[in-house]
Structure formats: structure tokens, C-alpha cells
Amino acid sequence: MAETQLIIGGEWTPAVRRGQYEVRNPARPDEVVGQAANGDEEDVERAVQAAHTAFPGWAALSFQQRAEILTKAARHLTADDEELQTRIRLFTREHGKILKESTLEMTRLGDRFLSSASFAERLATDAQLPGPPFDTLITHQPRGVAALIIPWNWPLSILGGKLPQALMAGNTVVIKPASQSPLAPSLTIRRIAEIFPPGVINLVTGSSSRIGDPLISHPLVRKINFTGGTETGRHIMRVASKTLKHLTLELGGNDAAIVLQDAQLDPPALQRMVMGAFLTTGQVCMALKRLYVHRSRFDELLEGVTAVASQSVVGDGLDPQVTMGPLNNEAQLQVVREMAEQARQKGARVHEVGSVPDQDLFEKGYFHRPTIITGAGHDSKVVSEEQFGPLMPILSFNDEEEAIRMANDTEFGLCSSVWTSDRDRALRVARQLEAGYTYLNAHGPMLQDNRAPFGGFKQSGLGRNLGYEGILDFLEPHSISSVPGWLL
């Protein structure tokens, strides 16, 4: 069994008072995968103080010096292949995602460090505003200690949208992973922290109810970057308002895809749709969650999507033949089941597809087959709320204006997609969608550009991760002026 501890001041250290807690395999809930450190408010205090102590030295480095350390960390992540493969298998066992997805998430994390490091020269260049009336430089300074709060669904990819950006900006950090699957993320963070000065990267694991508020309310924490549910985001805003902390909140999504009548529905396009909806058993914030198709193409699309999704093999993610693992936890499985059942009771057609090679395992674990739903009303839960599971509601529309109106008729605005053979039409529709990121003829994290900012409109959040803008979110603008003709 794996055992993980906290990282405080460069030390791999146990929790002070509460020991460890068990982490179980969602494919085999009776199987204990490992033990994680069960931190509390005293451990939060130690971690924040360590980050605060390390901040002046780290902030004093140049952007280029920090970029060199980030580049070294990226290489260190995959330098020991045996250790890497151990983390990958552990990740699948504690999370449930298939080995291919665990491998992608683990091996591509370093790319996000390299992407942040690539902005060193741009970040070091101050903007200049020559007078009159004044000569002004616009520079940037790190904010201080940043709290990075990571969800359970894609913890390492999402960490990659926060940690290298915070470090590149010159902040020190305290990372709090989700309690459901902290083992492989903790070991990965430990490997990253080995490259940085002590105290720059700190880690506290445990229950959100015990360590969440002490972290987000701590007076020495100046920046909070959170990914998770909208209700939790609202709670963080309330708590953080007492000390006016700067927030980046990547919250829920209910992504719409619009398939226009001239869309190409060949096998590769259909495969991209299915992957966009069912990757990681649908537990992806930017998953394709509502599929709107022009009435003239409805039957064709339904037949094609059903055929591709039917090839899914549901089971233990360690099995090479399996293409879809379990949901991560029993609570989320129950949410998905209830949404599908409510749609069925209201007259929708709920069609579960895919094969199950081990029925006994399927019944014991947190499994749900990929499910295609037609005939659901636009106001039904499976359409109006985020499913965060393997459900794909498909609805029809009559014209472009109706499709845009339905796509925007949601409190969320994280991602969207437009499917058409006409480039100009794709851009015209995309510009009208209320979403922070729009894919064209694709959807989902496997097709996301790390160089571009990522975040949501409306109830999907505040601020941006990734890209140059993601680093700026960890920096305070600082204007420096003088009388004209003296500074510049």
C-alpha cells in the first residue's frame, strides 16, 4: 500500500495530530489502495508559515532564473521511468480512470511547466508609457503565499494550470488536493518539490471540512486559486472577502455542442464527440454535456454516436482492454443514476451502451455504462444541470439562432463547441457563445491549447488559468511614474 505525508518547509512529514486515512479503489471499493496524511488546522498553519518564510527569497529571483528551475522540474517528473510507472498505476487504482488517461495526465504535466517557463522574457519586459503627462513603467510583482485547491477528477492536469504559473510569477504555494484521490498527486508534488528551495512548495492533505477554511481564511494567504463546484466557490468568496484575497475560481460547467447542418459527421468527428463526452467517465469540467444537432442531421448523428459509444468497454482501469473505468466515488455515481432515472420517468429515452466483461465487478464498483438520452426537455436536470458522469443528452434545433439561444440558456459558461464545415460560420457562432473557451469541430481537454487562457463566464468562475494570462493572475500590477523626460 502507498503511504503519503505532508510537505512542509521541504520536509516529507506526517500530520501533527490526526494520523492518516484510507483511500479506496472505486473499481473495487473493498480494496484499500493506501493511506494519506490527515492534516488539520495546525498543519495548515505550519505550511503557510513555511511558504511565507520562503517567499522573499523565491520572489527575489528573476523570471529567467525561475524559468530554469521550472524547466528542470519538468524533466525531473519523468526522469525515473520505473518510479513514473508506479505513480501511474497507483493513480488508476485510487482514482478509477483507465491507464491510458493516467499516463497522459502524468506524462504531460511537465509540458505545462515548460509552457509557463517560455513566458520568462515577456514577463520581464515592463510596459512603457512615455509622457506627457508622465513617464510610467507598468511592472508586476508576485502576490505572496498562494493557496492552490485541486479537485479529484483531473488533479494533475489542473495542478498544471495553477502551480507552474504561481511559481513562475514568484509566489510560494500551499497545495490542497481533494481527499478522494490524493496519493499519486502527493507523490508527484513531492517529486516536483525536490527541485525547488525548501518552503516554496508545501502540501496539506485531508478533509476539506477540517483544513479548507483555515487555509482560505489565513491572513498570510494572499491568493486563492480553486477548481471545483460552484457552491464551494461561493463559500470561498464569502470567507476570502474578510481579508480581500485575490481569487481565481474555475467552477462548474454544462458545456453545449452545436452541430450545424453542414457538419462533417465522419468516424473521426464522431469519435471526437464521444471522447469529449465520456473521457474519464464524463468526470471532466469541460466535457461535452449537452449535444444540440440540427433537426436534419439528428437521426444520422444519433446512429453514429451510439455506434461509437457502444464500442466502450467498462471495467477496472488497470485492464488494458477497458476504455471506461468507474466513477470516482459512490456519491457521484448516485447523482448520475438519479439524473438518468428522472429523465426516464419524464418520458426520455435512456439508452445505456457499451460492454461489461466482468459483471460481478461492475455491480460491486462505482460503474455506470455510457448513456445516450434523447427526448429530454431542455429544463430537465440531465440538460440544465452538470451531470459530471457518462450521460449524453442529445436535442434538436431548427436554426442557428435557436441553437445559440439554447446553448446560452444556462447559468454556466465554461466551454462550448461548434461543428461545421464552414470556417466563417464557425467563428460567427463561436463569438456569440457565452463561454470562456470554444472548440471548433472538437471538444474536451485532449484538444485544449495550453498556451491559451482557460476559465469561465457567469457561474463558471472568475479569472483564468493557463497561458500568459494565467501567470498574470498570480501577479500584482505595479505602476511606477515620474515627471516626463526623466524616467524614460
Active site residues: 250, 285
Spacing of C-alpha 197 from chain mean position: 26
Cα Rg for the chain, rounded, in angstroms? 23
CA-to-CA distance for 360 and 423, rounded, in angstroms? 48
Question: In this structure, are residues 210 and 40 in contact, taking their beta carbons and an 8 Å threshold?
Answer: yes
Cis, peptide link before residue 14, omega less than 30° from 0: no
Q: Phi and psi (nearest 5°) for 389?
A: -170, 180
CA-to-CA distance for 82 and 130, rounded, in angstroms? 56
**Contacts of 461 by beta carbon, 8 Å cutoff, 6+ apart:** 233, 248, 249, 250, 251, 414, 436, 455
Exposed / middle / buried, residue 314 (Cβ in 10 Å: 0-12, 13-18, 19+): buried
Question: With left for phi above 0 and alpha for psi between -120 and 50, is residue 122 left, alpha or beta?
Answer: alpha
User: What's the length of the chain?
Assistant: 488
* 394: helix, strand or coil: strand
Question: In this structure, are residues 330 and 297 in contact, taking their beta carbons and an 8 Å threshold?
Answer: no
Question: In this structure, are residues 415 and 437 in contact, taking their beta carbons and an 8 Å threshold?
Answer: yes
Q: Hey, what amino acid is at 354? A: G
Q: Phi and psi (nearest 5°) for 37?
A: -60, 135
How many other CB atoms sit within 10 Å of the CB of residue 62?
Answer: 12
Distances (CA, A) of 341 to 285, 293, 337, 352, 373: 22, 23, 6, 12, 11
DSSP 280: G
353-359's contacts with Cβ under 8 Å and 24+ in sequence apart are 353/306, 353/309, 353/310, 353/312, 354/309, 354/310, 354/311, 354/312, 354/313, 354/314, 354/324, 355/312, 355/313, 355/314, 356/313, 356/314, 356/315, 357/313, 357/315, 357/319, 357/321, 357/322, 358/315, 358/316
Query: Residue 172: in which H helix or E strand, if any?
Result: strand 172-176
